[in-house]
Structure 1
Amino acid sequence: MIKIEKLTKIFYKNSKEIYALKDIDLLINSGEFISIMGSSGSGKTTLLFSIAGLIKPASGSIHIDDTPIFNITRRERARLRALKIGFVFQLFYLVPYLTAMENVLLPFLAKKNDPDAINKARRALERVGLQSRLDHKPEELSVGERQRVGIARALVTGPRIILADEPTGNLDTENTAIVLKYLKEINQEGVTVVLTTHGPQVSQQVSRQVKLENGTIV
């Protein structure tokens, strides 16, 4: 469960306060598939990164299960992310000189001494239909395949929450459908999936939509 209460985030530009988020209240139940929809600048990415504990709010709180994530140390937040959260990025952020397999293995750097890491990485790539691309580098993969590597990397440690920031933003219609299919399958196994999007066609595929405008839920 993700519980957000009175969350406010303020940025400053030329000494002027800009509210990226203002008094956000949101409860995301375990196992939900939810989209946070809004135009550019609406605050959706700030909200997603706040849930991950990567952006600290000016006020308010976020609980993941029973843990108040901004009342613990930075190291404890990093450990919580490693144990419970997988992240999918719009721009993939794959290491260009590593193979698909090596990119998916990267999360295990934070979880040392896992003797089954290679098998888990292989299964994660097989899960998203990339069993024939294990040794390919990002430049040898299509855009859609790169995003599927990103999903496999998010899945590999068995997180209970997937946070996906505009995961279909750079994809065509066919690859958008493929990525949403895999996210749905993951959700059907009990994993909570929270994605951001600016497109209503993506939001129509989820179980619940939340719309942000100017940092507030509407």
Structure 2
Amino acid sequence: MTQLNVTHLKKQYKSKRSSQKVLALKDVDFQVEDGEFIAIMGESGSGKSTLLNCIATLDKPTAGHILLNGEDLANLKDKDLAAFRRDHIGFVFQNFNLLDTLTVKDNIYLPLVLSKNTTEKEEKLANLAKQLGIEELLEKYPYELSGGQQQRVAIGRALITKPELLLCDEPTGALDSKNAADILNLFGDCHQAGQTILMVTHSSLSASHAGRVLFIKDGVVFHQIYRGEKSEQEMLVAINDAMTNLLGGQS
């Protein structure tokens, strides 16, 4: 079943340095099936982060439609956007965005508290903490944790509401290779459990964990690769070949 449907998406900005308009997204079309793990790649300035922000309802497209489980996000009123994001979308950022004044436990609980939906919160936390390997960290504060541990907490916060869609913006960008691999394996586990994941990344290695990779160039979806029966190593080779063509201007 199609969970996310992006059609003819366009985003135009007015340049901060001049009166010229910048076309960040020209005409983006793609669909995401329920339970897919998709990576989005492209050069800096290609529009991939703008696309993620539009899907996250953090930015409004100039034209086109984004439907999440049939609901057109463009029709949401400004006053309803925060609640919609909280209830339907989970976020994992490069820099974790945890609150140092709250314990790990309370950081993870935060979306439930904001939505006033704290039913069975202890059980939800216990299951997540075990899955993420952070059971011994729940009473600590973010500043007491390593980067990898902080990202695990951030993933817990994103998943505690059981979101329909998990959006990840360079989730391994601030981590060393070992912690990055651990986080990607966690995403793999989440995907196997049925979580739909959309991840923006510069890393071919990170993207090789996905089931499909979309390549964006000049504001459009330029190419895509399906994993199929490919191993991670074979997927990595295919991604690197596609990026070489992308950077070389070949179609």
Per the normalisation by structure 1, the TM-score is 0.95
| Equivalent residue, structure 2, for 1:85 | 89
Q: What pairs with 1:46-195 in structure 2 (closer than 5 Å)?
A: 46-195=50-199
Q: Which moved more, 1:114-123 or 1:16-25?
A: 114-123
The RMSD of aligned alpha carbons is 1.3
Q: Residues of 2 paired with 1:23 and 1:110: CA distance? A: 35
Q: Residues of 2 paired with 1:88 and 1:205: CA distance? A: 16
Q: Which string of whole-angstrom CA distances, capped at 9 and with x for unpartnered residues, describes residues 90-120 of structure 1?
A: 1100001211111111101332142322332
Q: Residues of 2 paired with 1:200 and 1:115: CA distance? A: 40
Counterpart contact for 1:122–1:134, Cα < 8 Å: no
Q: Residues of 1 paired with 2:154 and 2:118: CA distance? A: 20
1:39 Cα shift? 2.4
Q: Residues of 2 paired with 1:52 and 1:29: CA distance? A: 17
Q: Residues of 2 paired with 1:113 and 1:17: CA distance? A: 43
| Equivalent residue, structure 2, for 1:5 | 7
| Equivalent residue, structure 2, for 1:40 | 44
Higher RCO structure (Cα 8 Å, ≥6 apart): 1
What SS is found at the alignment partner of 2:75?
A: coil
| Equivalent residue, structure 1, for 2:209 | 205
Q: Which moved more, 1:78-87 or 1:180-189?
A: 78-87
Counterpart contact for 1:101–1:122, Cα < 8 Å: no
Higher helix proportion (structure 1 or 2): 2
Counterpart contact for 1:127–1:152, Cα < 8 Å: no
Amino acid at match of 1:125: A
Q: Which moved more, 1:179-188 or 1:106-115?
A: 106-115
Q: Residues of 1 paired with 2:68 and 2:75: CA distance? A: 12
Counterpart contact for 1:105–1:118, Cα < 8 Å: no
1:122 Cα shift? 3.4
Relative to structure 1, the CA distance from residue 211 to residue 113 in structure 2 (aligned partners, 3 Å threshold; closer, same or farther) is closer
Q: Residues of 1 paired with 2:219 and 2:100: CA distance? A: 35
Per the normalisation by structure 2, the TM-score is 0.83
Relative to structure 1, the CA distance from residue 4 to residue 113 in structure 2 (aligned partners, 3 Å threshold; closer, same or farther) is closer
* Structure 1 unaligned regions, length at least 5: none
Q: Residues of 1 paired with 2:122 and 2:89: CA distance? A: 20
1:75 Cα shift? 3.5
Paired residue total: 218
Q: Which moved more, 1:72-81 or 1:98-107?
A: 72-81
What SS is found at the alignment partner of 1:6?
A: strand
1:128 Cα shift? 0.6
Q: Which runs of structure 1 show a deviation greater than 4 angstroms over 4 or more consecutive aligned residues?
A: none
What SS is found at the alignment partner of 1:70?
A: helix
Counterpart contact for 1:33–1:187, Cα < 8 Å: yes
Q: Which moved more, 1:28-37 or 1:71-80?
A: 71-80
Counterpart contact for 2:83–2:115, Cα < 8 Å: no
